[in-house]
Structures are given as C-alpha cells and as structure tokens.
Amino acid sequence: MHGLPQFSKVKVAVIGDVMLDRYWQGHAGRISPEAPVPVVKMGFEENRLGGAANVALNLSVLGCQVGLSGLIGDDEAGRTLDTEAQRRGIDTRLIADSARPTIVKLRVLAGQHQLMRVDFEEPFAGHPELAQIPSDASAVVLSDYAKGTLAEVESIIGAARKAQLPVVVDPKGTDWRRYAGATLLTPNFSEWLAVAGQPGDEDQLAAAAQRMIYELQLQAILITRSEKGMSLYRKDHAPIHIATEAKAVADVTGAGDTVVATLAGALAAGESMESACRLANSAAGVVVGKVGTSTVTPRELAEARAHEIQGVAADLAELQDWVASYQKAGETVVFTNGCFDILHAGHVSYLNEAASLGDRLIVAVNSDRSVSALKGPTRPVNHADQRMAVLAGLQAVDHVIEFDTDTPRELLSALKPDVLVKGGDYQDVSEVVGHEIVTEYGGRVRVLGVVAGVSTTQIIEKAQR
C-alpha cells in the first residue's frame, strides 16, 4: 500500500456528538386501514455508529488507534452504541447522562425506500471531563453536530493546544469564534457561506478565508465544495484547489466524516497539511461511490492514491517515492517546468518531445502567485488547478506538481530526475535554471526548440483584438 501514512502508529482522540443510526428494515405489502400509510412488516434491525462515532469508525478502519469521548443517555441505545464502538476496536469514554436520551436517528425502510425518520434527542450541555485529552493521543478531532456535547469546546481546544496536538474541527452553526485556536476547520461550502457570505470571486473567497484564519488564530481552513473538490487556505499561503476524484456519486452520506477522519489520521502520522488534504480528497472520492454511511479501507485508499498520483497533481513526498521506484526499475525520469497558462499546440509538441527522452515525464507548474510575479498582474488566465488538470490529461504527461517558489531548484534537489528539459532560445545548457543541480548528481540537461508563431501571449493578444 504505497505512499500511505503509518496510521497504525498513531492514536486520534475524537470528541463530539455521538449518535446511534438505527435502521428498521421490512416489507410494505399493503396500506393501513387506519390511515393512508403503508404497513411495514418488520424484517430486521441494524445499528450503525453515527455522528462523532462514525468519525471514530472511519479512523479505526484506516488502522488508527482511536479514543472516542461523548455523551449518551443511561439507556439501551447508549449501551448499544458503546458496545458497537468497542466491537469495532474503538476505545470508548462515553459519559452517561440520566436526564437525556442517547441521540438516535431511527429510519424505517421498506425494501430500499426510506419511509420515515424518527429522531430521539434532547440537547446536551457539555461535560468538563471531555476536556481530558488522552495522554497518548497524537491528534484531536472535534465533531460538532450542534447537539450540545461541545458546549465547552473552548476548554477542549485549550487542553489540546497545551498538549501541542493538532485539532481538526468539523464546525456547525455561525459562531465560529468558539473554535478559536484550533488547527484546522473543515466546513462545507454551504456552512462557509452561512458564516462568511457569498464571495464575488475566488480571490475574494481567499481573502475572506485569510481574515478568518487570522481572527480565529487558525493554521488553515479546508472548504469542501462537492463537485468542485476542495480548497485549502493556509495562513500566508496561496490557496490550493484540489479537484474532486469521485468518478460516480452513489451517496454522499458520511463523506464529511471520512474527510475529517482521514485528515486527522494523516496529520497525526506527520503528513503535511497539503498532503493530508489530498489524501482526504482521495478518501472522499472512494466513499461517495458507496451506498449508505461508509468507510474507506487502507487498500481502497492506496489504490485511489495510486490512480490519483499517476495523472493528477501530486504531493511532493509521494512523488519522491514514485520517482525512486521508477529509477530503481531502470526507468528514465524526465522533468520540465513552466506556467502553461493556456495550453496550445506548441506546448503539446514540446511535451511530446520531452516525453520521448525517457520513460516518465514530470511537469512542474508555477503557482498562481509565481505566474503573476513572472508575467504580470493580469496573469494567469487559468488557476493552477485548472492548468494542472489539463496537463494531466495529456498522454505524454505522467505526473504534475505545483511549485510556489521562484525557481524549481527545490523540486530538482528533492526529485533528482535523470533529465532536465527546457524549451526556448538558450545558447547553452548552462543558462537553464537548475542545470548545476542536475549535472552534479550525474543527470543530463537538454534544451528543446519551440514551435514558431504560437505562444500564450499571442493567443491572449489575438483574443483581445
């Protein structure tokens, strides 16, 4: 399972609103004589972990050690929830409140059709013991469903920060000041709009996210955007837009829990924020293809990541692993870089020629910030995620990665490709940026010509006439 974090070596503490999802499955063969409703003949009952407990389940299936804290009632449903969680390998610390029932979502189904849902719940009022973070935890997830368990969330975040643990929050409501000091918030786009309002464009959205990060003393905000994928906003960094990997959507139920769980598990295992988000995006792409609240196994995630990294934007650490494996197998790795703002015939010809020099072609793409620095404030025309998606669709290209530095020297030092290729009017390879890095470890540098009469600048100028 190439490239996955070592989930089994970490423990994640999940604190939040735990629920029991209860399903009554039966057959409806007639209408009741008492009222115009179907009569369901009971077949079987199924109990599933819901809310924060589903986050814990997702972590357990990934292989993490998991501690689950929350509030339940002193009732049969609470005991069932606790037993089911322990059966799935989760270390539970569920506090029973005799004054309130366990939160239960009862769904009555006839065949595959849901006829009704009955909710059993009364709002909880928090509990001071929830701020006691397990001493062996590597990360904390706060799963807020606005049911009252996290009424004292500020003290929980404070305890986690004192223990120097990353805190991932799945927020609810519009008062996000209560989450101040957390590491990362993971709202969906609707939740974000309810708090920040409708942005005029992507730049205004990024600016609003930066203000929120500073006001709440966060490290990052990850907004999940359905078919548009995810957008990661980090303190003082350019946004990273991650395209969705869902091939077919069967059911989005529980996808947010899967995202939060994968993020927290990856951060606990030492992954960077960007790498953890890309991993979570892959997990979401798997889980939405399943029916019902689902989880993702390490094998499924590894297969999704293998597919993702062979064609779509790659994380540097994983790309290093892939390059090393190619070279170990005797394959020649070719590297080139550029803005590729508007892909045209000249680019395609150049990339095909570059690919012919080896077995694998890596294309490094300038970030939006660096394109603006190089080309001026009106560029790029297309955001980095769009430019990378188009490049990844070319048969000649194996991997695409974004870089935000002025030159690709750091990437060259990390990846150590066999061949560095540049296109242009260079008189000598010594003029190519990064040539000294490649030649020092024994690599080659090649300069390719350009297709005359076609360039991005010319295309833009023609379109503006």
How far, in Å, are 172, 232, 244, 349 from residue 226 at the CA level?
18, 14, 8, 35
Per DSSP, the three-state class of 351 is helix
Structure tokens at 51: 């809310």
* Closest-CA residue to 43 (of 102, 103, 112): 112
| 257 included as an active-site residue | yes
Options 21, 144, 170, 257, the catalytic residue: 257
Cis, peptide link before residue 171, omega less than 30° from 0: no
In the chain, the amino acid numbered 309 is: I
Are 212 and 196 within 8 A, CB to CB?
Answer: yes
Name, in order, each residue with C-beta under 8 angstroms of 112's C-beta and a sequence gap of 6 or more.
Answer: none
Are 100 and 17 within 8 A, CB to CB?
Answer: no
* Closest-CA residue to 72 (of 44, 99, 47, 96): 96
What is the DSSP code (8-state) at residue 198?
-
Are 172 and 191 within 8 A, CB to CB?
Answer: yes
How far, in Å, are 239, 299, 427, 465 from residue 276 at the CA level?
15, 17, 42, 45
Structure tokens at 301: 């995630």
For the chain, percent helix, then strand, then coil, each to nearest 5? 40, 25, 35
Give backbone dihedrals phi and psi of 201, rounded to 5 degrees, phi first. -155, -175
Structure tokens at 340: 């590729």
In the chain, the amino acid numbered 4 is: L
Distance of CA 243 to the CA centre of its chain: 10
Q: Which residue has the tokens 């975040």?
A: 157
Q: Interior CA angle at 107 toward 103 and 113, to 5°? A: 160
Can you tell me the distance from the alpha carbon of 57 to that of 47, in angstroms, rounded to the nearest whole number? 13
With 0-12 / 13-18 / 19 or more C-beta atoms within 10 angstroms meaning exposed / middle / buried, residue 291 is exposed
How far, in Å, are 243, 338, 347, 384 from residue 342 at the CA level?
19, 11, 9, 11
* Closest-CA residue to 407 (of 339, 357, 321, 352): 339
Residues identified as active-site: 257
